[in-house]
Amino acid sequence: MKQTIFSIQDLKKYYLVKLGLFKKAYIKAVDDVNFLIREGEAYCIVGESGSGKTTVTKMLLGLELPTEGKIEFLGKDLSKLLSDARSAKDFRKNVQAVFQDPFSSLNPRKTVKDILEKPFKVHNEKIEMETTERLLEEVGLIPPKEFLKRYSHQLSGGQRQRVCIARALALKPKVVILDEPTAALDVTIKAQILNLLIDLKEKYNLTYIIISHELPLLKSIADKISVMYAGKIVEEGAAERIFNNPKHPYTLGLLESIPPPDPKSAKTKTLPTLEGEPPSPVNPPKGCRFHPRCPYKFDLCDKIEPEKVEIYSEHYVSCHLFNRK
């Protein structure tokens, strides 16, 4: 069995917000999630806007503290790791991030060379010209000498994201957390960046945590998929299971945007469309949070929260349709 990189247990993040002059309420951004991320895996978290994906990644990066629950990195409690300067530095070196908007991620006053040298300076590591050139070659920015002197406004969106990926790889991390890495890019560029990520993962045995709201896009890269809805994981399993044997009605809805390979096929015709809006994170629906939008709901769904059931090896679903014994 591969080494466990992150272990996430009963994780919650509630934000206290003002609703009026005297009224306050909690936004339940992440509400009791559990999962394991193993070495070399591309672990993808998918869900609509507001489902809590970024909040999970902020906690994994140590940028937000959990309200409840525990995160372990390589078997050690993350909050303890971060409270010690040395181990915190080690963690930051090993766990890097790439965000959605490559434009705002890059300092407009710095050249690509400055940007790529910064991680080495922060970590007091030796930099050689070849190091930055090699990094640019790795991400397909060729000839590297030409790109080193450019500023971010002299790059296209795809090239900027390549620089962000090069910067994330500079210190040879174990894990790269990618929050919607292709959302701001054109369709063709999206595919190129995904292919680059697949190659780099193979080459450096990287572990990825990829956040996306487009489930179909993840098909070529995902090893495991967690489907989040209103702060909860409603389905989790090997990517191959999620694409070929999805169970939760919400997952089916997210897959609906895949063009059917064979339009005459009965299987693809039956996928339901996802109607309605995600619920309010302040007052999520009672019972199953998806029930107001679910085409298969029945009498239990608006009363009792479904438990997580393992329907196949490491394939979990939280839905009353699968809770019946």
* Chain positions contacting ligand ATP, by CB under 6 A: 15, 17, 27, 29, 47, 49-55, 213, 281
139 binds, among Mg ion, ligand ATP, none (CB under 5 to 8 A by kind): none
Taking the least distance from each CB to ligand ATP, the nearer of 53 and 320 is: 53
Taking the least distance from each CB to ligand ATP, the nearer of 17 and 129 is: 17
Query: Closest approach of Cβ 270 to ligand ATP, in Å?
Result: 27
Query: Closest approach of Cβ 99 to ligand ATP, in Å?
Result: 10
Query: Closest approach of Cβ 55 to Mg ion, in Å?
Result: 8
Q: Are 146 and 133 in contact (CB under 8 A)?
A: no
Query: Closest approach of Cβ 230 to Mg ion, in Å?
Result: 14
Among 54, 96, 152, 182, binds Mg ion (CB under 5 A): 54
Give CA separation, 51 vs 29, 115, 141, 176, 278, in Å.
7, 32, 35, 21, 8
Query: Which spans in 47-156 are helix H?
Result: 53-60, 78-83, 85-94, 102-105, 112-122, 129-138, 144-148
55 binds, among ligand ATP, Mg ion, none (CB under 5 to 8 A by kind): ligand ATP
Amino acid at 42: A
Taking the least distance from each CB to Mg ion, the nearer of 178 and 206 is: 178
Give CA–CA dist 156/162, Å, rounded.
10
44 binds, among Mg ion, ligand ATP, none (CB under 5 to 8 A by kind): none
CA 161, 229, 237: angle at the middle one, nearest 5?
A: 80
Helices 112-122 and 129-138, packing angle to 10 deg: 110
Query: Closest approach of Cβ 49 to Mg ion, in Å?
Result: 7
Select from 236, 204, 207 the least CA-distant residue to 221.
Answer: 207
Cα 32 to the center of its chain, rounded Å: 17
Give CA–CA dist 29/14, Å, rounded.
6
* Residues between 20 and 39 that touch Mg ion (CB under 5 A): none
Taking the least distance from each CB to ligand ATP, the nearer of 117 and 180 is: 180
Taking the least distance from each CB to ligand ATP, the nearer of 282 and 304 is: 282
Residues that bind Mg ion (CB under 5 A): 54
